Chain A
Amino acid sequence: GQNIDQPTEMTATEGAIVQINCTYQTSGFNGLFWYQQHAGEAPTFLSYNVLDGLEEKGRFSSFLSRSKGYSYLLLKELQMKDSASYLCAVRDPNDYKLSFGAGTTVTVRA
Chain B
Amino acid sequence: DAGITQSPRHKVTETGTPVTLRCHQTENHRYMYWYRQDPGHGLRLIHYSYGVKDTDKGEVSDGYSVSRSKTEDFLLTLESATSSQTSVYFCAISAGDRYNEQFFGPGTRLTVL
Chain A residues with a Cβ under 8 A of chain B: 31, 33, 41-45, 48, 87, 89, 95-103
Are B105 and A42 touching (Cβ within 8 A)? yes
Chain B, Cβ-Cβ closest to A103: B42
At the interface, yes or no: B14 with Cβ under 8 Å from chain A?
Answer: no
Cα distance, A97 to B58, chains bound together (Å): 9
Cβ B106 vs Cβ A42 within 8 A: yes
Task: Chain A residues near B94: list those with CB within 8 A.
Answer: 96
B90: chain A residues at CB < 8 Å are 42-43
One of B44, B100, B106 near A96 (C-beta < 8 A) = B100
Chain B residues bordering chain A, tally (CB within 8 A): 25
Residue ranges of B at the interface with A (Cβ–Cβ < 8 Å): 31, 33, 40-45, 48, 56, 58-59, 90, 94, 96, 98-107
Q: Which residues of B contact A98 (CB under 8 A)?
A: 33, 43, 45, 102
Q: Which residue of chain A is the closest to B90 with respect to CB atoms?
A: A42
Q: Can you spell out 15 A-B residue pairs with CB atoms less than 8 angstroms apart?
A: A31-B99, A41-B107, A42-B90, A42-B105, A42-B106, A43-B104, A48-B101, A95-B56, A96-B94, A96-B100, A97-B45, A97-B58, A100-B42, A100-B44, A102-B40
Q: Which of A42, A43, A95 has the largest count of B CB atoms less than 10 A from its CB?
A: A42
Q: Which residue of A lies closest to B95 (CB)?
A: A45
- Interchain nearest-CB distance for B69 vs A (Å): 22
CB pair A45–B48 under 8 Å, yes or no, is no
Which listed residue (A31, A87, A97) contacts B42, Cβ 8 A?
A87
A45 contacts which chain B residues (CB < 8 A)? 96, 101-103
Neighbouring A residues of B99 by C-beta, 8 Å: 31, 33, 48
The distance in angstroms between the C-alpha atoms of A99 and B42, with both chains bound, is 9
Q: Out of B41, B45, B103, which one reaches A102, CB within 8 Å?
A: B41
Task: For the complex formed, measure the closest distance between the CB of B55 and the CB atoms of chain A, giving whole angstroms.
Answer: 12
| Nearest neighbor of A85 in chain B, beta-carbon distance | B42
Q: Apart from A42-B107, A87-B43, A96-B31, what 19 extra A-B contacts exist at CB < 8 Å?
A: A33-B99, A41-B107, A42-B90, A42-B105, A42-B106, A45-B101, A45-B102, A45-B103, A48-B99, A96-B94, A97-B33, A97-B48, A98-B33, A98-B43, A98-B45, A99-B45, A99-B59, A100-B44, A102-B40
